[in-house]
Amino acid sequence: MKHFTSTKDIADLAALVASAREMKANPFAYEHLGKNKTMVLLFFNPSLRTRLSTEKAANTLGMKVISMNADSGWVIEFEEGAVMNAGSAEHIKEAAPVISQYGDIIGVRTFPTLKDRERDYQEQVIEAFKRYATVPVVSLESATRHPLQSLADVITIEEFKQKERPKVVLSWAPHVRALPQAVPNSFVEWMNIANVDLVVTHPEGYELADAYMGGAKLEYNQEKAFEGADFIYGKNWSSYREYGQILNQDPNWRITQHKLDHWTNQAKFMHCLPVRRNVVVDDAVLDGPNSIVIAQANNRTWAAMAVLREILVELNG
């Protein structure tokens, strides 16, 4: 594996999940892989889980880690041919190769603008890092995808499933702020290559981009979608069609214990976190036996380890 920014970078999902689970059982078996290597993590946006779990994964694989809030450095320019007479102080053409001399692997977190759909969906920032860095680049959530989250989600479903091919439902839920489509886009992409029956449910206007939906089934009626579900994955996202807009905040879409009890097959509740209690999902769900969000967040470490292990094996030749 050279870079890791989407499902396209992996050869074998089952093998990657097996690798993550093996290291979860025996965390320090591959400490030698990262000896004398450094991982640089750049955060253009906030993070709790991604930052700490990726640092932990890199440390556990024997690497040194340098983390930087990318808002504390010079503002980087990404436009080709820009006349840099305004806010930005240096171009990605210098920044990325410079950072590549300090780190053997670069991790980047960058949210979308939610204003310029074309720019966001071209993945301007992460693609520029891939183009101008001379070392592997790992997405810590980009404008349209969150692959380390999705890999952790696959691992979690694998651990908790009680049948070979569980029914998994991705449900939109209300929120007070306009959030990216990265988590749902990515979740669908990864579920589409996993051994699950996926149904996506959301109000009209929240359709995800076709390129990410692939052949996934869409059901606008949340109750119908939830029927017989083994996993409910709650998440808010803003509209792709009316880009970045909040079209409604209908509280009827909130995930409740009543829905889990009466509409599903005693489904487990998943969410990438952070989650707004009693807006996206009720306390009763998060505090009850159906919630697996804490175990899910734990798997962020093992997902990152599986990815970094593959990259290190390649770097070590």
**Residue 73: Cβ-neighbour burial (10 angstroms; 0-12, 13-18, 19+):** middle
Residue nearest to ligand AN0 (CB): 179
By CB under 6 A, the residues from 144 to 173 that bind ligand CP are 149
By CB under 6 A, the residues from 15 to 54 that bind ligand CP are 47-50
- Residue 113 CA to residue 102 CA, distance in Å, equals 28
Q: Name the binder of 182 from ligand AN0, ligand CP, none, CB < 5-8 A by kind.
A: ligand AN0
Burial code of 186-220, b = ≥16 C-beta within 10 A, e = fewer?
bbbbbbeebebebbbbbbeebebeeebbeebeebe
Q: Does 274 bind ligand AN0 (CB under 6 A)?
A: yes
Task: Tell me the site size for ligand CP, rule CB under 6 A.
Answer: 9
Please identify, using beta-carbon distances, which residue of 48 and 75 lies nearer to ligand CP. Answer: 48
By CB under 6 A, the residues from 127 to 146 that bind ligand AN0 are 141
Burial code of 138-150, b = ≥16 C-beta within 10 A, e = fewer?
bbbbbbbbbbbbb
Q: Name the binder of 179 from ligand AN0, ligand CP, none, CB < 5-8 A by kind.
A: ligand AN0
Q: Does 142 bind ligand CP (CB under 6 A)?
A: no
Q: Name the binder of 48 from ligand AN0, ligand CP, none, CB < 5-8 A by kind.
A: ligand CP
- Residue 151 CA to residue 229 CA, distance in Å, equals 20
Question: At its nearest, how many Å lie between ligand AN0 and the CB of residue 49?
Answer: 7
Residues 6 or more apart from 287 whose CB is under 8 A from it? none
Binding site for ligand AN0 (CB under 6 A): 141, 179-180, 182-183, 272, 274
